[in-house]
């Protein structure tokens, strides 16, 4: 038991230790100052922030719907839950292909978009964000839904007897109660968006400064310049861990009281 | 009654409206049917065994569960079609259901906050905090309160909303047995002070005796007897009433 | 929720199992055929087992046929192909991937493997040139390399870190075309797929890819492309788990029959 736990821990930690140990620390500064690296970093941070914002705006209402659906008849409830769950278990590449078939120029929707508005989505920074939202949204929805379910529904009733309208109940009671869930969901969402690779490269392509995010840049660099790839990977690790630490300190104690 | 000083206003029972309820509610396979009046200054206890539908009846009056048929009227106002937030019915929930993310002050200020700014709401809460002995606890969160303190906060929160009717759902059941006696007397004083139409749901004769003038017995969703406790004792209508009256105080 | 998750996991696992079964099936295909022409000098005694051939993505179709034919001659050997970008494959070999043979689409990736002392030199066995590829019907009316500079068109090229991208860069450079790509893909087949889906108006891929892609795409010949020739080297690897079979496969690819097959798929002679 303890042995297996130890092995499990090693599986999680040792690869990251190797990454840190083998990093070209001497040249790290120069590597990270490369334009290709900075470009990918800025693009990755920017798209992941926008994607997280979009996930919050779309995901919180979806989580509310999902939590309310608990009282729906089974087929509708299950269908809704499956629709949110599938992207979570789907290989991201499949998500990328599906997005391409929907929004590509010859896609189900993309054709009409191109004809009517002259909008083409693939190969744009917007496509990167869309791919990130597709893979990250379920993380936010489930985190918020879990918080909604564990929140005592009677507090909402109590608020109503004190004169709170539906919106006021949501704003002053429901939302603050699920804030830790929303914060945790947003962190998960952001890190997932930051690490998105498969759906992005399939749907958005890979062009420096436009669609080549950190993970894609790292993957390409691994083929020709492993040092740069390691530097990029280290950067991704640092940003992810940094976000986790920052939001823990700023959010979780505050809302836990 | 001036807007600038929304202080507690005890002893206006004569000006307060009565509650008239005649409702049919279905919850799952249970059906509750009851009709009664609760007059201001004369609290009514609804007493009955577990599962009789007492809490469902209370929730229906407050608008928290829909009624199948009937009416709920406060004075000359029909409220059964209004959402709970517009009925002006205060509820003291069984285990108080305080807002866990808000301080004692903000719990008490909640109703005023729904109508105005945070600042105004907090000042409006001050006299209530003082009256209920909560000034010292104002900055605490509900998780840091004892059962008795929680009950005081819940009552102050409900009454600060200035309801016309007060409903209490098993107000003592969340308290330790040793505390009940003391808290029951305190609660009774506050209820008298409130002076409006009051209904207290309980399965304890002691609650009914201390908190209410009249008793309505609810068994399996039906009213089986009504009157004062003395009247019930003189001629118990059902075996339940006889057992309930024979039980010692606080025996659950 | 738990149940739907479990269902999804089971589905995914079933999919994996299906894939594995398919891989097993194709690896074993052709082994039932009688060994023919036992007098052929390429038939030598080799150890039985499975050899792993790392091959450039552009070699996919040609090597699938070569693998089948090799297995016909050596029923005791299964050939498993690992297709990908040459640079990525080279990187995997240097990192210790258990490969028997490496066939690259250009010399630099092979040089990395030789430099790492994982192969004793390599033999060039085929050449390839670039061609413009457009979706069937050529909706954007592409006529030549200069169209790649048109901003309003969607263009896919290989990234310069992989051979097709390096070749494309030197061709565009030589022709003075300032291309405006919308995506730089990590291997040539990814470019081809985006053209076949109609998501891009044009791409630069190998002549052989256009031929292998069938009806979904069309080629637009680029006369200047003849000056940029990609040379494909092959080597059996020093650490090959099956050295004799690996050497036999290398010899088979560089031999007469291998040449014939490669030629049919559009590859030039070395």
Query: What pLDDT is attached to residue B28?
Result: 78
Q: Is the pLDDT of residue C8 over 80?
A: no
> What residue in C sits closest to A220 (Cα-Cα)?
C186
Model confidence over A174-195: pLDDT tens digits?
989 988 889 889 988 999 999 9
Beta carbons of C183 and A120 less than 8 Å apart: no
- Per residue in B159-187, pLDDT (tens digit) is 999 999 999 999 988 888 888 888 898 99
Cross-chain residue pair A89–C12, CB shorter than 8 Å = yes
A176 touching B (Cβ < 8 Å): yes
Q: Which CATH superfamily is domain C130-227 in?
A: Periplasmic binding protein-like II (3.40.190.10)
Model confidence at C44, pLDDT cuts 50, 70, 90, reads low
- Do the Cβ atoms of A211 and C87 come within 8 Å? no
Per-residue model confidence as pLDDT tens digits over C66-87? 999 999 999 999 999 999 888 8
What CATH superfamily classification does B19-98+163-246 receive?
P-loop containing nucleotide triphosphate hydrolases (3.40.50.300)
How far apart are the CA of B158 and the nearest CA of chain A, in angstroms? 7
CA–CA distance, B134 with B128 (Å, rounded to integer): 8
Half-sphere CA count of B151, side-chain side, radius 13 A = 23
User: In what order do the strands lie in the sheet containing C130-135?
Assistant: C183-185, C155-158, C202-206, C130-135, C217-220
* Mean pLDDT of the B203-210 span: 90
Q: Where in chain B is the domain with CATH 3.40.50.300?
A: 19-98+163-246
Residue ranges per domain, chain A?
Answer: 52-211
Q: Is the ipTM of this complex over 0.95?
A: no
Burial annotation A82-93 (CB, 10 A radius, 16+ → b, else e): eebbebbebebe
pLDDT of residue C132: 95
Residues of A whose CB is below 8 A from B143: 257
Chain A residues in contact with C181 by the CB 8 A cut-off are: 207
pLDDT of residue C263: 94
φ/ψ (deg, to 5) at B27 = -130, 110
Asked if A106 reaches chain C (Cβ–Cβ under 8 Å), the answer is yes
Whether chain B lies against chain C with 3 or more Cβ pairs closer than 8 A is no
Q: What is the C-alpha separation between A4 and C82, in angstroms, rounded?
A: 33
Helix (H, G, I), strand (E, B) or coil at A66: helix
CB C171 within 8 A of CB C224: yes
DSSP B247: S
Residues of chain B contacting residue A161, judged by C-beta atoms under 8 Å apart: 62-64, 84-85, 87, 89-91, 158, 161
**C window 79-138, beta carbon within 8 A of A:** 85, 87-88, 90-91
pLDDT for position A108: 86
Yes or no: say if C193 and C239 are a contact pair by the CB < 8 Å rule: no
- % of chain B beyond a pLDDT of 70: 92
Residue B4 has pLDDT above 60, yes or no: no
Question: For chain C, which residues make up each domain, given as ranges?
Answer: 7-127+232-264, 130-227
The answer to whether C4 contacts chain A (CB < 8 Å) is yes
> How far does C198 lie from chain A, in Å, by closest CA?
7
Q: What pTM was estimated for this model as a whole?
A: 0.73
**A73-83 mean pLDDT:** 87
B9 pLDDT above the threshold of 70: no
Q: Which residues pair with B166 in a beta bridge?
A: B90, B198
Mean pLDDT of C30-41: 39
The angle subtended at Cα C264 by Cα C260 and Cα C265, nearest 5°, is: 120
What is the model's pLDDT at position A156? 93
Residues of A in contact with B111 (CB under 8 A): 162-163
Assign C1 a pLDDT band (cuts: 50, 70, 90).
Answer: very low
Of A158, A163, A257, the CB nearest to B93: A158
Bridge partners for A101 per DSSP: none
Separation of alpha carbons C133 and C189, rounded Å: 12
Judge contact between C220 and C132, C-beta under 8 A: yes
For residues A110 and A130, is the Cβ–Cβ distance under 8 A? no
Contact C8 A81 (CB under 8 A): no
Banded pLDDT at C7 (limits 50, 70, 90)? very low
Smallest CA–CA separation between B168 and chain A, in Å? 12
Spell out a b/e string for B150-174, using b for 16 or more CB atoms within 10 Å of the CB, else e.
bbbbbbbbbbbbbbbbbbbbbbbeb
pLDDT at B70: 92
Work out the pLDDT band at A144, boundaries 50, 70, 90.
Answer: very high
Beta pairing, strands C217-220 & C130-135: antiparallel
- pLDDT, mean of residues A222-235: 85
Q: Is the separation of the CB atoms in C210 and C133 below 8 Å?
A: yes
State how far the Cα of C225 lies from the Cα of C221, in Å rounded to an integer.
8
Per-residue pLDDT reduced to its tens digit, C185-237? 988 888 998 999 888 999 999 999 898 888 889 999 899 888 889 899 999 99
| Mean of pLDDT values over B41-67 | 92
Between chain A and chain C, the number of residue pairs with CB atoms below 8 A apart is: 72
**What is the predicted pLDDT for the residue at C20?**
36
β-bridge partners, B35 = B22
Q: Considering only residues A32 and C31, tell me which one the structure prediction assigns the higher pLDDT.
A: A32
8 Å CB contact of A220 and C4: no
Chain A residue with CA closest to C190: the answer is A202
Confidence at residue A150, expressed as pLDDT on a 0 to 100 scale? 84
Whether C5 has a pLDDT exceeding 70, the answer reads no
Give the chain A residue whose CA is nearest to the CA of B111.
A162
DSSP state of B18: P
What is the CATH architecture assignment of A52-211?
Answer: Orthogonal Bundle (1.10)
- Confidence class for position B58, pLDDT limits 50, 70, 90: very high
pLDDT band at C42 (very low <50, low <70, confident <90, very high): very low
pLDDT, tens only, C79-121: 999 998 888 899 889 988 889 999 999 999 999 999 999 999 8
DSSP lists the bridge partners of residue B33 as B24
Q: Which chain C residue is nearest to residue A85, measuring alpha carbons? A: C5
Number of C-alpha atoms within 13 angstroms, CB side, residue B215?
A: 29
Please give the CATH architecture assigned to the domain spanning C7-127+232-264. Answer: 3-Layer(aba) Sandwich (3.40)
For position A251, what pLDDT does the model report?
A: 55
A118 touches chain C (CB under 8 A): no
Contact list in A for residue C16 (CB cut-off 8 A) is none
User: In Å, how far are A84, C8, C249 from A90, measured between CA atoms?
Assistant: 11, 9, 38
Residue B13: the pLDDT is: 42
Nearest to A223 among C1, C9, C88 (CB): C88
What is the spatial distance between Cα B93 and Cα A13, in angstroms, rounded to a whole number?
49
Res B11: pLDDT: 44
Mean pLDDT of A228-248: 85
Give the C-alpha separation, A185 to A86, whole Å.
17
Q: B225: helix, coil or strand?
A: strand
Please state, in angstroms and rounded to a whole number, the distance separating the CA atoms of residues C223 and C207.
12
pLDDT tens sequence across A35-46: 888 999 999 999
B near A: at least 3 beta-carbon pairs less than 8 Å apart: yes
| DSSP for C136-188, written as a single string | TT-TT---SGGGGG-TTS-EEEE-TTSHHHHHHHHHHHHHT-----SEEESSH
A158 touches chain B (CB under 8 A): yes
Average pLDDT over chain A, rounded to an integer: 88
| Cα–Cα distance list, C255 to B75, C59, C144, C251, C259 (Å) | 105, 16, 36, 6, 6
What pLDDT score was predicted for residue B2? 41
Q: Which residue of B has its CA nearest to A166?
A: B85
Residue C35 above 70 pLDDT?
no
Q: Stretch B182-201: mean pLDDT, rounded?
A: 91
Sign of CA dihedral B218, B221, B223, B224: negative
Of all residues in chain C, what percent carry a pLDDT higher than 90? 60
The whole-angstrom distance between A151's CA and the closest CA on chain B is 10
Inter-chain residue contact B161 with A162, CB threshold 8 Å: yes
């Amino acid at each position: 038991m303890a042995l297996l736990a130890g092995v499990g821990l090693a599986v999680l930690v040792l690869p990251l230790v190797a990454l840190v140990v083998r990093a070209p620390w001497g040249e790290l500064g120069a590597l990270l100052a490369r334009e290709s690296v900075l470009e990918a970093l800025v693009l990755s941070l920017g798209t992941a922030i926008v994607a997280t914002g979009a996930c919050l705006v779309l995901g919180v209402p979806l989580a509310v719907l999902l939590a309310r659906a608990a009282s729906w008849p089974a087929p509708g409830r299950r269908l809704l839950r499956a629709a949110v769950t599938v992207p979570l278990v789907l290989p991201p590449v499949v998500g990328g292909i599906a997005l391409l078939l929907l929004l590509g120029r010859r896609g189900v929707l993309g054709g009409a978009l191109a004809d009517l508005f002259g909008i083409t989505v693939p190969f744009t920074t917007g496509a990167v964000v869309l791919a990130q939202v597709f893979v990250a949204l379920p993380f936010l929805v489930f985190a918020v839904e879990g918080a909604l379910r564990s929140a005592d529904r009677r507090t909402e009733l109590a608020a109503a007897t004190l004169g709170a309208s539906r919106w006021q109940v949501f704003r002053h009671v429901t939302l603050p109660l699920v804030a830790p869930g929303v914060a945790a969901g947003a962190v998960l969402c952001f890190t997932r968006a930051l690490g998105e690779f498969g759906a992005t490269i399939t749907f958005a392509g890979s062009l420096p400064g436009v669609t080549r995010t950190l993970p894609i840049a790292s993957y390409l660099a691994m083929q020709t310049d492993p040092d740069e790839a390691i530097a990029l990977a280290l950067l991704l690790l640092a940003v992810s861990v940094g976000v986790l630490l920052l939001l823990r300190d700023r959010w979780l104690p505050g809302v836990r009281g | 009654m001036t807007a600038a000083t929304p202080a507690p206003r005890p002893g206006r029972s004569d000006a307060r409206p009565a509650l008239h309820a005649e409702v049919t509610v279905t919850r799952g396979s249970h059906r509750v049917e009851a009709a009664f009046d609760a007059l201001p200054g004369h609290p009514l206890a609804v007493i009955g065994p577990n599962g009789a539908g007492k809490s469902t009846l209370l929730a229906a009056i407050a608008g928290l569960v829909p009624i199948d048929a009937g009416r709920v009227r406060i004075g000359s106002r029909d409220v059964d079609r209004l959402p709970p937030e517009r009925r002006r019915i205060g509820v003291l929930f069984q285990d108080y259901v305080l807002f866990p993310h808000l301080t004692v002050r903000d719990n008490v200020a909640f109703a005023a906050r729904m109508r105005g700014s945070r600042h105004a709401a907090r000042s409006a809460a001050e006299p209530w905090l003082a009256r209920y002995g909560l000034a010292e606890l104002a900055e605490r969160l509900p998780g840091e309160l004892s059962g008795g303190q929680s009950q005081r906060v819940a009552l102050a929160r409900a009454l600060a909303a200035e309801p016309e009717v007060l409903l209490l759902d098993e107000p003592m059941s969340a308290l330790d047995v040793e505390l009940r006696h003391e808290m029951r007397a305190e609660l009774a004083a506050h209820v008298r002070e409130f002076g409006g139409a009051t209904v207290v749901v309980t399965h304890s004769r002691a609650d009914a005796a201390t908190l209410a003038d009249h008793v309505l017995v609810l068994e399996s969703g039906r009213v089986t007897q009504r009157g004062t406790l003395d009247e019930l004792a003189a001629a118990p209508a059902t075996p339940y009433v006889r057992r309930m009256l024979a039980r010692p105080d606080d025996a659950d | 929720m738990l149940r739907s998750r479990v269902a999804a996991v089971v589905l995914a696992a079933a999919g994996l199992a299906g894939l594995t079964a398919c891989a097993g099936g194709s690896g074993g295909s052709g082994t039932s055929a009688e060994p023919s022409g036992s007098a052929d000098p390429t038939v030598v005694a080799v150890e039985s087992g499975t050899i792993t051939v790392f091959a450039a993505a552009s070699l996919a179709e040609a090597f699938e046929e070569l693998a089948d034919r090799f297995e016909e001659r050596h029923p005791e050997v299964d050939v498993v192909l690992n297709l990908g970008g040459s640079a990525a494959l080279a990187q995997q070999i240097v990192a210790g991937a258990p490969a028997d043979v490496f066939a690259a689409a250009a010399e630099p990736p092979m040089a990395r493997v030789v430099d790492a002392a994982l192969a004793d030199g390599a033999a060039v066995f085929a050449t390839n040139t670039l061609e413009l590829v457009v979706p069937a019907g050529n909706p954007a009316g592409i006529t030549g390399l200069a169209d790649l500079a048109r901003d309003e068109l969607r263009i896919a090229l290989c990234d310069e870190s992989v051979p097709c991208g390096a070749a494309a860069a030197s061709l565009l450079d030589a022709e003075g075309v300032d291309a405006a790509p919308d995506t730089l893909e990590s291997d040539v087949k990814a470019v081809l797929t985006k053209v076949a889906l109609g998501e891009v108006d044009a791409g630069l891929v190998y002549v052989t890819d256009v031929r292998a892609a069938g009806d979904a795409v069309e080629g637009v010949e680029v006369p200047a492309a003849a000056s940029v020739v990609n040379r494909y080297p092959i080597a059996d690897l020093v650490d090959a788990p099956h050295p004799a079979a690996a050497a036999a496969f290398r010899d088979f690819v560089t031999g007469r029959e291998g040449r014939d097959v490669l030629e049919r798929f559009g590859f030039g002679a070395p």
